[in-house]
Amino acid sequence: MRRFRPHLVLALAGIVIASAAAEGADVGPTYALINLKVVPVSGPILEKGTIIVRDGLVEAVGPAGKITIPEDAEIVDGEGLTAYPGLISAHTNLFLEEAASPARPQSPAEFAAAVAPPSPPDQPGHEVFDQLKPKKASIDGFLKAGITTVLVAPGRGIFQGQSVLLNLNGEEAGPMVVRNPVALHLNFTTARGSYPSSLMGTIAYIRQKFYDAVHGATVRAVYAKNLKGMKRPAYDPFAMALVPFVRDKRPVVFQCNNREEIKRALTIIEEFKLNGWLSHANEAWREADLLKKTKLPLLVTLDARPPRSSLYVNQGEELRKKAEAEIYPANAANLAKSGVPFALTSLGLADGPAFLKAVQAAIKAGLSREDALRALTIRPAEYLGVAAELGTLEAGKIANIVLAKGDLFDEKTEIVQVFVDGVPAKF
Amino acid sequence: MPKKLRFLILALGTLAAASVSAEAGGSLLIKNGTLLTVTRGVLVKADILVVDGLIRKIGPSLDAPPGLPVVDVSGKYVIPGIIDSHTHIALDGTNEGSEAITPEADVGRVVNADDVSILTALSGGVTMVHTMHGSANPIGGPNVVLKMKWGRPSEELVVPQAWKTLKFALGENVKQSNRTIQIGGPPPRYPQTRMGTNAVIRREFLRAKDYLAEWERYEKLRTSNNPPPTLVPPRKDLRLEVLADVLRGRMVARCHAYVAPETLEFLLLSKELGFKVACFEHAWEAYKIVDALAEANIGISVFADSWAYKMEAAEGIAYNAGYCAKNGVLVSINSDSGERIRRLFNEAAKTMKYGGLGEDEALALITINPAIQLGVDKIVGSLEIGKQADIAVFTGHPMSAYARCDMTIIEGDVYFDRDRLVREREEAVQISPAGKRGGLR
């Protein structure tokens, strides 16, 4: 039996009125983007196409005339514009507040803290989502560069914690989440003032922690079968946090800051049969043959600054600059030439404009525009396991759409409008 | 065999790496040299035929098979590639000094093939190095033996035939006696004395013995007819695994030791615990305990001079190397540095002045002796048929202060050619913007 509830109807009507008034609420209205050139990535380019956006998703996309425009749709005339799927940067350190630099030490205790700043202990179970502080300025910078989706990873320590995948649809962290947690992130760095203080110590430390996880999982499995008659195993939170990665093969991202670190990561991935991904990797072209064989997800940064270990860094500023301008931007082009698949990321780049400049530099160094676009859309979507939702302009997918005046990666191109989760972003 | 350089940087100018050449493809004929073979005497106006990286023939007037590159070294001296028994180059780390005992910190896992010190080493005729964990703690980490294949990827540098070695250290570095204490700085690390050092090393080995026993018990149960259902493996401990390998004889100790008493104490400790010491490092007071070292068949790897740079080196003498060599100790001269490495032949020559070694004996200190210390004397260390063609060509006798290394060859590939390097560097300067401005001259 149903009862008529007028107060409920009134309340609902109020919501509808409110959402129609406030742009950018989480459920968007319906849009018909017409007269556009459409680059769906998943198929051939439509010289004159139509995209229907409804309730955050792409409802339909196709050549003009073949798509019926819904009556309730707000029409966006895209004459002279090109639509692309929103770009994905599959590794960033966005929205993380770095510890403020301490004031000049006064007391001996402060001096002590300044001499040996305590590194925060590694916490592989830590989810970066808990520390996100989204900032409008950095969101706008990325949207202006066409990036609508970012993987945010923690940036400190060796076992840095677990990343989250976000759609840049506002300023609140919760509604942005596409996937959480995504992967465990490792970096070949050292702990200042305590163990491990050297790179070989770090490698031993990483291996020991994974061995402890394997051991912990083994012991617990035996214990589960012998609850009666077996002493309960000691609880090691670090090892337990790593169990899903050694046992269930959840992804582990290794930040490889130079050529040798690619090989060091591969050795550890092989040793523990991890679901390993390689990130940073701006010297990846030097190990192209190896990477072609291993076929691991490769998240290549567009940051062309040579690593500290580089020959070019130790031979004077002139050579370093030349390497940054001429050698490292060709990383992606060289990988493509060698047939190594990869995604491109903005890791290490300050902001959206720096990202766009870096893409242009990679294209100038020989990367095709098609390869660049795939490496920023469908390829990262596949790596991240979200290809059903993101990465191309197809019916049913999330409506992350970039409207550009000109080719997306041209220097003079202006990005005029960006839809995130089907809502036009304001920037 | 390397056929071409993967990483050529000629276009960039200034870098000497551009001169790396591996185009000989591991085969060549070296003609008309004065060969200092080290183990087979001196051959005047003789040739060396190298095929696929190995020395195949040595003798006068050898014929080259058609197409084989020929290097004429008339008037020059040809020696086996120099081997540095103790250095720290080509690594992305030196000391895991945060704790006293870190045998898990393996420098073989942080080889950096881009270190320009490799090229520096080649310019002094060095073809192989034992590159080591530092001496900041009593038990450092495993070391690694590398060939100086400049331009090749790191894994191709590693010499798999060499003994696996673990770095130990005693004395001032370990007890941190030269450290400036800062208010509020890091607290002093145990041990702070020589007896503490001995004790902590002993303690760790006893732990490793327990660890071995624990695994043996487990394996016995696991492979028994009726393993208990609650049987679980012991925790794998990378720190103790390495010490267990030393106890099993799979690794040998290389111990940094300055003064005589601590050196003897370490020797006693190794006998008590049952592990092998391959070599003492620096060993400035080896001359005081030469009989004990000779009897125990333990070598030393030392500087030629430059003693008294710290208290525990105060009783070092320039005669140390020569005197020990003449009294049955296997001596090598090391660089411990990415700079001294280019003039190890000068260092070795000092033992002729101080210690009275002959030319051949002095040359042995940087060739066959370090090869024996590293367990690679079957493959390198002398000019012999069947050995790897690691060869250096000098303008004069390498024990002369006027000699200079002109060419360095590893496994038949030319990795350093001074003429070519100078030529290419001049060309690079011509085409570089800084060169045009005169900035690089």
- Burial pattern A20-47, b for ≥16 Cβ within 10 A else e, equals eeeeeeeebbbbbbbebbbbbbeeeebe
Per-residue pLDDT of A375-424, as tens digits, reads: 999 999 999 999 999 999 999 999 999 999 999 999 999 999 999 999 99
Instruction: Report which of B6, B28, B371 is spatially closest to residue A290, judged by C-alpha positions.
Output: B6
Find the range with the poorest average confidence among A348-357, B213-222, B235-244: A348-357
CATH number for the domain running over B1-81+382-441:
2.30.40.10
Q: Which residues of A touch B12 (CB under 8 A)?
A: 312, 319, 322-323, 327
For testing contact with chain A, the best of B92, B101, B119 (most A CBs within 10 A): B92
In B, minimum Cα distance to A234 occurs at: B235
Instruction: Report which of B354, B340, B343 is spatially closest to residue B401, judged by C-alpha positions.
Output: B343
Q: Could you tell me if B281 and B255 are in contact, meaning their C-beta atoms sit under 8 angstroms apart?
A: yes
Looking at chain A from residue 135 to 164, which residues have their Cβ under 8 Å from any Cβ of chain B? none
Q: Which phi and psi angles does A275 have, rounded to 5°?
A: -85, 80
Please answer yes or no on whether B184 and A219 come within 8 Å at the CB atom: no
pLDDT of the residue at A84: 98
Segment B140-147 shows an average pLDDT of: 98
Nearest Cα of chain B lies from the Cα of A111 at a distance, in angstroms, of: 6
Task: Let me know how many helices (H) and strands (E) chain A has, helices first.
Answer: 13, 18
For testing contact with chain B, the best of A200, A211, A266 (most B CBs within 10 A): A200
Instruction: Report which of A296, A318, A298 is spatially closest to residue A306, judged by C-alpha positions.
Output: A318
Say yes or no: B104 contacts chain A, CB-CB below 8 A: yes
| Joined tokens for residue A417 | 């409008």
The H-or-E segment that residue A271 falls in is helix A259-272
pLDDT band for position A8 (50/70/90)? very low
- What residues contact residue A224 under an 8 Å CB cut-off, 6+ apart? none
Tell me how far apart the alpha carbons of residues B359 and A259 are, in angstroms, rounded to a whole number. 43
Nearest Cα of chain B lies from the Cα of A320 at a distance, in angstroms, of: 10
pLDDT of the residue at A2: 41
Say yes or no: A288 contacts chain B, CB-CB below 8 A: no
Nearest Cα of chain B lies from the Cα of A190 at a distance, in angstroms, of: 10
Say yes or no: A200 contacts chain B, CB-CB below 8 A: yes
Percentage of chain B lying above the pLDDT 70 cut: 92
Say yes or no: B187 contacts chain A, CB-CB below 8 A: no
| Complex-level ipTM beyond the 0.95 threshold | no
Residue B431 scores a pLDDT above 90: no
Q: Could you tell me if B238 and A208 are in contact, meaning their C-beta atoms sit under 8 angstroms apart?
A: yes
Q: Using the 8-state DSSP alphabet, how is residue A323 labeled?
A: I
Say yes or no: B437 contacts chain A, CB-CB below 8 A: no
Residue B419 scores a pLDDT above 80: yes
Centroid of chain to Cα A60 = 27
Segment B242-254 shows an average pLDDT of: 98
Q: Which carries the bigger pLDDT value, residue B156 or residue A193?
A: B156
Strands A401-405 and A82-85: antiparallel
CATH 2.30.40.10 in chain B is located at: 1-81+382-441
In A, minimum Cα distance to B107 occurs at: A200
In B, minimum Cα distance to A283 occurs at: B7
Looking at chain B from residue 109 to 138, which residues have their Cβ under 8 Å from any Cβ of chain A? 109-114, 116, 133
In A, minimum Cα distance to B12 occurs at: A319
Instruction: Report which of A325, A411, A312, A316 is spatially closest to residue A365, judged by C-alpha positions.
Output: A325
Q: What share of chain A is helix, strand, coil (3-state, %, to 5)?
A: 35, 20, 40
Instruction: Report which of A385, A306, A382, A369 is spatially closest to residue A343, judged by C-alpha positions.
Output: A382
Q: How many other C-beta atoms can be found within 10 angstroms of the C-beta atom of residue A408? A: 22
Q: Residue written as tokens 């050619």?
A: B417
For B184, the closest of A111, A197, A318 (CB atoms) is A111
Chains A, B: CB contacts within 8 A come to 134
Q: Could you tell me if A320 and A312 are in contact, meaning their C-beta atoms sit under 8 angstroms apart?
A: yes
Segment B400-408 shows an average pLDDT of: 97
For testing contact with chain A, the best of B89, B96, B139, B239 (most A CBs within 10 A): B96
| Joined tokens for residue A293 | 């064989």
**H-only helix segments in B131-237:** 194-222
Say yes or no: A368 contacts chain B, CB-CB below 8 A: no
pLDDT of the residue at A25: 46
In B, minimum Cα distance to A321 occurs at: B12
Per-residue pLDDT of B200-239, as tens digits, reads: 999 999 999 999 999 999 999 999 999 999 999 999 999 9
Please answer yes or no on whether B98 and A109 come within 8 Å at the CB atom: no
Instruction: Report which of A30, A33, A119, A115 is spatially closest to residue A78, judged by C-alpha positions.
Output: A33
Q: Could you tell me if A40 and A394 are in contact, meaning their C-beta atoms sit under 8 angstroms apart?
A: yes
Find the range with the poorest average confidence among A105-114, A307-316, A382-391, B86-95: A105-114
Strands B139-142 and B277-282: unpaired
Q: Residue written as tokens 């493809």?
A: B25
Per-residue pLDDT of B9-37, as tens digits, reads: 333 333 333 333 444 359 999 999 999 99
What stretches of A55-142 adopt beta strand conformation (E)?
Answer: 57-63, 74-77, 82-85, 87-92
In B, minimum Cα distance to A215 occurs at: B235
For B109, the closest of A203, A229, A315 (CB atoms) is A203
Q: Residue written as tokens 């390993």?
A: A276
pLDDT of the residue at B307: 86
Q: Is A253 exposed, middle or buried (0-12, 13-18, 19+ CB in 10 A)?
A: buried
pLDDT of the residue at B174: 96
pLDDT band for position A310 (50/70/90)? confident
Segment B255-274 shows an average pLDDT of: 97
CATH 3.20.20.140 in chain B is located at: 82-380
pLDDT of the residue at B114: 93
- Please, what CATH class does the domain formed by A87-390 belong to? alpha beta
In A, minimum Cα distance to B118 occurs at: A311
pLDDT of the residue at B246: 98
Pick the CATH number of A10-85+392-427 from 2.30.40.10, 1.25.10.10, 2.60.40.420, 2.120.10.80: 2.30.40.10
> CA A149, A151, A154 angle in degrees (round to 5)?
145
In B, minimum Cα distance to A268 occurs at: B109
pLDDT band for position A19 (50/70/90)? very low
Tell me how far apart the alpha carbons of residues A148 and B157 are, in angstroms, rounded to a whole number. 45
Tell me how far apart the alpha carbons of residues A210 and A199 are, in angstroms, rounded to a whole number. 17
Q: List, as one string, the DSSP characters of A335-399.
A: HHHTT---EEE-TT--SHHHHHHHHHHHHHTT--HHHHHHHTTHHHHHHTT-TTTSSS--TTSB-
Beta bridge partners of A83: A38, A403
Q: Could you tell me if B403 and B417 are in contact, meaning their C-beta atoms sit under 8 angstroms apart?
A: no
Residue A23 scores a pLDDT above 50: no
Segment A17-28 shows an average pLDDT of: 44
Instruction: Report which of B218, B295, B210, B301 is spatially closest to residue B253, judged by C-alpha positions.
Output: B301
Looking at chain B from residue 396 to 425, which residues have their Cβ under 8 Å from any Cβ of chain A? none
Please answer yes or no on whether A208 and B113 come within 8 Å at the CB atom: no
Segment A48-54 shows an average pLDDT of: 97
Q: List, as one string, the DSSP characters of A2-17.
A: ----HHHHHHHHHHHH
Segment A13-31 shows an average pLDDT of: 50
- Domain spans of chain A? 10-85+392-427, 87-390
Please answer yes or no on whether B96 and A200 come within 8 Å at the CB atom: yes
Residue B5 scores a pLDDT above 80: no
Segment B316-338 shows an average pLDDT of: 97
In B, minimum Cα distance to A108 occurs at: B184
For B185, the closest of A115, A195, A327 (CB atoms) is A115
Helix (H, G, I), strand (E, B) or coil at A172: coil
Beta bridge partners of A49: A36, A63
In A, minimum Cα distance to B435 occurs at: A318
Residue B104 scores a pLDDT above 50: yes
Looking at chain A from residue 251 to 270, which residues have their Cβ under 8 Å from any Cβ of chain B? 259-260, 263-264, 267
Q: Which residues of A touch B434 (CB under 8 A)?
A: 318
Q: Could you tell me if A209 and A217 are in contact, meaning their C-beta atoms sit under 8 angstroms apart?
A: no
Tell me how far apart the alpha carbons of residues B404 and B76 are, in angstroms, rounded to a whole number. 10
Please answer yes or no on whether B155 and A263 come within 8 Å at the CB atom: yes
Percentage of chain A lying above the pLDDT 90 cut: 80
Instruction: Report which of B293, B297, B342 is spatially closest to residue B320, judged by C-alpha positions.
Output: B293
| Joined tokens for residue B51 | 């095929």
Segment A28-48 shows an average pLDDT of: 94
Q: Using the 8-state DSSP alphabet, how is residue B50 labeled?
A: E
Pick the CATH number of B82-380 from 3.40.50.880, 3.30.1050.10, 3.20.20.140, 3.30.930.10: 3.20.20.140
| Joined tokens for residue A98 | 């770095």
Q: Which phi and psi angles does B10 have, rounded to 5°?
A: -55, -45
Strands A46-54 and A57-63: antiparallel
pLDDT of the residue at A10: 36
Measured CA to CA in angstroms, residue A341 lies from A52, A284, A378, B65, B241 at distances of 32, 11, 12, 45, 38
pLDDT of the residue at A341: 98
Measured CA to CA in angstroms, residue A26 lies from A124, A168, A183, A425 at distances of 32, 12, 26, 12
Q: Which phi and psi angles does A263 have, rounded to 5°?
A: -70, -35
Please answer yes or no on whether B229 and A112 come within 8 Å at the CB atom: no
Say yes or no: B15 contacts chain A, CB-CB below 8 A: yes
> What angle do the packed helices A199-225 and A259-272 form, to 10 degrees?
20
Q: Which residues of A touch B158 (CB under 8 A)?
A: none
Helix (H, G, I), strand (E, B) or coil at B272: helix
pLDDT of the residue at B414: 97
Nearest Cα of chain A lies from the Cα of B92 at a distance, in angstroms, of: 7
Please answer yes or no on whether B182 and A115 come within 8 Å at the CB atom: yes
> What angle do the packed helices B238-247 and A199-225 form, to 10 degrees?
100
> What angle do the packed helices B260-273 and B194-222 form, to 10 degrees?
10
Residue A195 scores a pLDDT above 90: yes
Could you give the count of Cα atoms lying within 13 Å of B399 in the half-sphere of its Cβ? 20
Q: Could you tell me if A192 and A117 are in contact, meaning their C-beta atoms sit under 8 angstroms apart?
A: yes
Segment B388-396 shows an average pLDDT of: 98
- What's the mean pLDDT when you consider all of chain A? 89
